Amino acid sequence: MKTTNNLPYRIVLSTWMDQMQLSREHPGACIGFSIEPTQKFNERCGMGTSTRASIKKIWGNLPKDRDPVELSKLVFCVDNPPTLPVEPNNNFPWGSYAARWITGSIDPITLIIPGVSYCNYDGKPWPNKLETINDDDTLNWLEEIVTLAPTRERPEGEAFQLDIKPNLIKELSHNSDQAWEAIKERDTYRLAEAVNGCRKAINNFSDTYMANGVKEKVNELLGEGVLAAFPQGAGCGGYIACISENPNDRIKIKVRKK
């Protein structure tokens, strides 16, 4: 199924630290940015489409006269109402109940706020630190080096499963910070190294990440000369963000700047 209108999509270059079960073990950041809907994308593609549907339901299109941070908070609350169920789960170290159904806040933030955003989490569902870069030089550079490669659409019911390993969460956190520094310096090779480090850390604490052909597609892209490859969403299918100095026949993007 395809979907399109003038609502944006989002790309992440580091993710999953917005999940409380990770950032309670060790603080860390997600990095992502909003892109214009320059073509039809698959519905189950890992690019914030569920949150995008919530935005469409609430407003139709993004209001232009509202603060984007406040809008992203509103959408996060709509996706996570007070009646949201929790389940007993003794595997979580901080108590007998885990808010496992809370959706990550990186989606509304990076869909709604223009530019590229750094969201640092410390055990809570909303970031304790939010930084955004929105200068033309940085965003034009991202448009030049980041493309999308399609994989098969993520099947219904297929979900990401976590096996929390504190040392790998620290590794993910470190690489996320390195990626942010590389973006600030517009250093393509340093960014690619950090993004690959994020992907490897996530892959090592989840058996379901890059499942069913996604890992093979990542290896294929790297073998073709892509500097870094990062599956979107839960990594189960949809699109892979590629960092490269040569876009080849992959999907070019347009970063949302306002």
Averaged pLDDT in 10-residue chunks for the chain of 258 residues: 67 93 93 94 86 92 92 94 60 44 88 97 95 97 96 68 81 98 98 97 82 88 96 84 91 94
Q: What secondary structure letter does DSSP report for 3?
A: E
Amino acid 156: pLDDT: 67
Amino acid 155: pLDDT: 67
Nearest to 34, CA basis, from 51, 19, 18? 51
Domain count, the chain: 1
Residue 226 lies in a domain: yes
Amino acid 97: pLDDT: 41
Q: What are the phi and psi torsion angles at 229 (to 5°)?
A: -140, 130
Residue 180 lies in a domain: yes
Q: Cα 124 vs. chain centroid, distance in angstroms?
A: 17
Size of the chain, expressed as the number of residues it contains: 258
Alpha-carbon distance values, 46 to 24, 43, 49, 91, 160 (Å) = 24, 8, 7, 27, 11
Residue type (1 letter), 190: R
Residue 194 lies in a domain: yes
Amino acid 87: pLDDT: 55
Query: In 3-state terms, what secondary structure has residue 189?
Result: helix
Amino acid 171: pLDDT: 96
Residue 257 lies in a domain: no
Question: Crossing angle for the helix pair 188-204 and 166-185, nearest 10 degrees?
Answer: 160
Q: What are the phi and psi torsion angles at 25 (to 5°)?
A: -80, -40
∠ CA 145-247-210, nearest 5°, is 80
Residue 222 lies in a domain: yes
Q: What CATH number has the domain bearing residue 56?
A: 3.30.70.890
Rounded to whole angstroms, the Cα distance separating 5 from 146 reads: 22
Q: Tokens representing 44? A: 């189950």
∠ CA 248-251-252, nearest 5°, is 90
Residue 183 lies in a domain: yes
Q: Is the whole model's pTM more than 0.95, yes or no?
A: no
Q: Could you list the residue range(s) of the whole structural domain that residue 83 is in?
A: 2-252
Question: Crossing angle for the helix pair 166-185 and 136-145, nearest 10 degrees?
Answer: 120
Alpha-carbon distance values, 201 to 160, 197, 230 (Å) = 14, 6, 11
Rounded to whole angstroms, the Cα distance separating 170 from 172 reads: 5
Location of structure tokens 């320059």: 38
Amino acid 4: pLDDT: 40
Question: Crossing angle for the helix pair 49-59 and 68-79, nearest 10 degrees?
Answer: 100
Q: Tokens representing 241? A: 């963000």
Residue type (1 letter), 33: F
Rounded to whole angstroms, the Cα distance separating 41 from 143 reads: 17
Residue 162 lies in a domain: yes
Residue type (1 letter), 179: A
Location of structure tokens 């490669």: 149
∠ CA 29-31-36, nearest 5°, is 155
